[in-house]
Structure 1
Amino acid sequence: MPSSTESGQPTVILVAGLAGAIGSTLSVAVHLLKTAPHLVKPYLTTEERFAHLPLSEMVVAGWDLAGANLCRAIEDHGVIPASIWQPLQAQLETIPLFEAPEAGMDLDAAIAAVSRDIDRVESMYPQANRVLVNLLPAAPALAGGENEADFRRTFNQAPDRFPDPVYALAAIHKGIPVVNFTPNEIEWPWVVQQAAQQGVPLCGRDGKTGQTFYKLVLASAWKARKLKITGWYSLNILGNSDGANLMDPERAAGKLANKTEILEEILGYRVGDSRSCHKVHIDYYPPRGDAKEAWDVVDFEGLFDLPMSIRIDFQGRDSVLAAPMAIDMARWMVALKQSGRNGLVADLAFFFKKPLGLDPPLSYEDQISRLNTLDLT
């Protein structure tokens, strides 16, 4: 049980996509921080940080499609054993789960609907810090957004294809920091400008949970060791709803770009000579469920240009890896908001495939260093 002496400011994590695999796993993790913290706290990078934001005083609320039921979603996703989540069922059923804005709403109407829900959460937890975590599915990229008129025109042409900005703008207008865990681009210039004007920090994009995380670590090590990477083939298989969604080439484009570009950004050179020899593929394989698997073939050269190679078979759990990161980032963003930061925050690059902001650190060692020296005064 949590310490009876633990006290401080409560935090509400507002989740867009609460009934998804990651959102529902996050909900269970937050409740376990109250009843069985030993199952969650050791896996948080912020475990020893932010004493004024007690882990035991975190709560969750959020949005999903009409008819969504959180406990049914937990059962259907099959991420968490019943022996862990079912004892929490009564508490989980009290989590505020709001219906997403109706299909076809224009931008202002949709923002107003989400804002009303945020007001309801505030009335439930009037003294709490709030942070939005975007966990919506990968969506097709939308062009535009250099200014308000351009942004509105682009969004209103296809509001159902890309709902993410609705939640981000509603949060920004309420002074709530935003974590963009998805590969979806919500950080258009006008949106970032709104955040700066409201004194709201934003961080993103596309949380790196498995294959891209160890790709970052290994590429940083190869670069430091002066070994030249000549080829890298990556295959991901997963059988959850995220995997099914990514079978749409338009929806997968952003994630594939983020998973591909990160290698060249770290190394400082293109892998391969005249042809790109860095390949990334994602495949939906239902038997795996949330237990994703990644295979990598890495070719590299050493002394005398002699070739060498390594093989990696990574077997992970998508939502189990992602949920603690969402908690960590939520706590960072609350602390950053309290310290006066606003706009895009590059210092949290450690968590993302496509870190945004001014001069984000690229290598693993630089990302760790930036995180450890982040000034919150």
Structure 2
Amino acid sequence: MGTPEDLALGGWDISSASLADAADRAGVLEPDLRRQLRPHTGAMVPLRGAYDPSFIADNQAPRADHVMPDGWSKQRRLDALRGDIRDFKAASGVDFVVVVWTANSERYSEERAGLNDSADALLGAIARGEGEVSPSTLYAVAAILEGCPFINGSPQNTLVAGALDLASRHGVAVVGDDFKSGQTKMKSVLVDYLIGCGVKVKTMVTYNHLGNNDMYQLTDGVMWKPKSAAKSRVIDDIVDGNGVLYAPGEARPDHVVVVKYVPFLGDSKRDVSEYTSETFMDAHYTTVMHNECLDSALCAPLILDLALLTELLTRIDFQVGGAAPSPDAPYEPLHPVLSVLSFYMKIPLTPPGEPIVNSLGRQRAAVENLLRACVGLAPESDLLLETKCVPARGGGS
């Protein structure tokens, strides 16, 4: 398995700022550390980004000084992105490329038959220059056509049905959607814990504010819709999986998510969450939490983990055939939609027919047990049945 030291970094941006200047603008790292890094990061300038102002907030326009020409068709932009990937691979000498969308959220793309419901429809829509093909989908298609896994770290529907079909056709891994880092990860843990204890969660109200550019973008209501949906769906399977507390057809817990842009705080995210539940004899149980963290410091490790694990998973083949498959049974790769990495995502993408799992413990167990299988170890089990058996009794009267 690779390590962060094995990585070579490159990428695109609609802003021309070098990595050093972007770090100064963001103000996340300490000033002295940025000064020490500048000899290494000052020359790292992004490639021109694929830009469509209709997909992001108007407040991002001042940053868009490093974009592909307006006159370029979507097909030409796709071809340019593919060329950028090939050039980066050749110049850096890497063996494998993983493309990760870490940019701001886009608005949702329209999904309809004949536009993006199949690989052929999506490629045709790009060739025709259809307006509902988003920049992030262009990056995804470019990566897939170049044989590079694509990870969608934002909540919009980048990986439309046509993109997933294209990934399956080419056998290229994809992961989505939206990095799960702070408040949302805590929510999936706490709700799983409460419901597992027989406590019926009735309301979840979460509020957070910060002042980075990602939050600035979300002040546009259209851009907030995908993020709101991502944050609101992280407990669905936990609730649906308990038919004792929540009867079929019963309303889900009230779930409210509020975010506010506070420029002074920069990347320092503050959040307050309140959970109110019903317990024995309709008594109420309320939990309130306050968290403070650097938003980027939570996400950066996820990006590294996802890139390294995705590359590893593309090299895993397994035999299908039960506990004792035939020695002649063929080895098959994992499905291109790498749902096993749901641990890192708010809205896990899954192959057709596979249920979505949001419980953080179950998601982590899936990753751990797959890695254990790779080194010949049995899956972890909390049952520990071997320690619970009555010891065999010796002979004698």
Corresponding position of 1:313? 290
Q: Provide the C-alpha distance between the structure 1 equivalents of 2:223 and 2:297, rounded to a whole number of angstroms.
A: 23
Q: Provide the C-alpha distance between the structure 2 equivalents of 1:274 and 1:341, rounded to a whole number of angstroms.
A: 36
Please report how far the alpha carbon of residue 236 of structure 1 lies from its aligned counterpart in structure 2 after TM superposition.
Answer: 1.4
Please report how far the alpha carbon of residue 137 of structure 1 lies from its aligned counterpart in structure 2 after TM superposition.
Answer: 1.1
2:107 matches 1:140: yes
Cα 1:61–1:275, aligned 2, differ >3 Å: closer, same or farther?
Answer: closer
Corresponding position of 1:61? 10
**1:187 aligned counterpart, secondary structure:** coil
Corresponding position of 2:92? 125
Match among 260, 268, 293 for residue 270 of structure 2 = 293
Please report how far the alpha carbon of residue 83 of structure 1 lies from its aligned counterpart in structure 2 after TM superposition.
Answer: 1.9
Corresponding position of 1:373? 369
Contact 2:3–2:308 (CA<8 Å) still a contact in 1? no
Please report how far the alpha carbon of residue 306 of structure 1 lies from its aligned counterpart in structure 2 after TM superposition.
Answer: 0.6
Cα 1:356–1:308, aligned 2, differ >3 Å: closer, same or farther?
Answer: same
Please report how far the alpha carbon of residue 66 of structure 1 lies from its aligned counterpart in structure 2 after TM superposition.
Answer: 4.9
Q: Which amino acid aligns with 2:16?
A: G
**2:258 aligned counterpart, secondary structure:** strand
Please report how far the alpha carbon of residue 345 of structure 1 lies from its aligned counterpart in structure 2 after TM superposition.
Answer: 1.2
Corresponding position of 1:239? 211
Corresponding position of 1:24? none
For residues 240-266 of structure 1, the C-alpha deviation after alignment (integer angstroms, 9 at most, x for no partner) is 111110011111101101111212332
Corresponding position of 2:62? none
2:136 matches 1:169: no
For residues 168-221 of structure 1, the C-alpha deviation after alignment (integer angstroms, 9 at most, x for no partner) is 111111111111111121221211111122221101101111110100010111
Corresponding position of 1:93? 42
Please report how far the alpha carbon of residue 273 of structure 1 lies from its aligned counterpart in structure 2 after TM superposition.
Answer: 6.8
2:177 matches 1:205: yes
**2:155 aligned counterpart, secondary structure:** coil
Q: Provide the C-alpha distance between the structure 2 equivalents of 1:63 and 1:139, rounded to a whole number of angstroms.
A: 16
2:72 matches 1:105: yes
Q: How many residues align?
A: 324
2:308 matches 1:331: yes
**1:184 aligned counterpart, secondary structure:** coil
**1:133 aligned counterpart, secondary structure:** strand
Corresponding position of 2:327? none
Q: Provide the C-alpha distance between the structure 2 equivalents of 1:180 and 1:250, rounded to a whole number of angstroms.
A: 19
Contact 2:13–2:49 (CA<8 Å) still a contact in 1? yes
Q: Provide the C-alpha distance between the structure 2 equivalents of 1:230 and 1:130, rounded to a whole number of angstroms.
A: 45
Q: Provide the C-alpha distance between the structure 1 equivalents of 2:252 and 2:313, rounded to a whole number of angstroms.
A: 42
Identity %: 24
Match among 172, 184, 195 for residue 156 of structure 2 = 184
Q: Provide the C-alpha distance between the structure 2 equivalents of 1:96 and 1:120, rounded to a whole number of angstroms.
A: 15
For residues 281-314 of structure 1, the C-alpha deviation after alignment (integer angstroms, 9 at most, x for no partner) is 1111111110011111110121112111111111
Match among 184, 202, 205 for residue 230 of structure 1 = 202
Match among 24, 28, 36 for residue 75 of structure 1 = 24
Q: Provide the C-alpha distance between the structure 2 equivalents of 1:105 and 1:333, rounded to a whole number of angstroms.
A: 32
Q: Which amino acid aligns with 1:333?
A: T
Q: Please, which moves more after superposition, 273-282 or 236-245?
A: 273-282
Q: Note the residue ranges of structure 2 that are not aligned, 5 or more in a row.
A: 51-67, 241-245, 317-332, 375-397
Q: Please, which moves more after superposition, 144-153 or 348-357?
A: 144-153
Q: Note the residue ranges of structure 1 that are not aligned, 5 or more in a row.
A: 1-49
Match among 112, 115, 131 for residue 158 of structure 1 = 131
Contact 1:231–1:298 (CA<8 Å) still a contact in 2? yes
Q: Provide the C-alpha distance between the structure 2 equivalents of 1:127 and 1:79, rounded to a whole number of angstroms.
A: 29
Corresponding position of 1:25? none
Contact 2:18–2:43 (CA<8 Å) still a contact in 1? no
Q: Provide the C-alpha distance between the structure 2 equivalents of 1:275 and 1:373, rounded to a whole number of angstroms.
A: 31
Q: Please, which moves more after superposition, 285-294 or 126-135?
A: 126-135
Alpha-carbon RMSD: 2.2
Q: Provide the C-alpha distance between the structure 2 equivalents of 1:355 and 1:116, rounded to a whole number of angstroms.
A: 30
**1:158 aligned counterpart, secondary structure:** coil
Q: Which amino acid aligns with 2:117?
A: E
Contact 1:346–1:359 (CA<8 Å) still a contact in 2? no
Q: Which amino acid aligns with 2:231?
A: K
Q: Which amino acid aligns with 1:130?
A: V
Corresponding position of 1:30? none
Please report how far the alpha carbon of residue 343 of structure 1 lies from its aligned counterpart in structure 2 after TM superposition.
Answer: 2.0
Match among 333, 348, 360 for residue 341 of structure 2 = 348
Cα 1:261–1:127, aligned 2, differ >3 Å: closer, same or farther?
Answer: closer
Q: Provide the C-alpha distance between the structure 2 equivalents of 1:368 and 1:232, rounded to a whole number of angstroms.
A: 24
2:165 matches 1:193: yes
- Greater relative contact order (Cα < 8 A, sep 6+): 1
**1:298 aligned counterpart, secondary structure:** strand
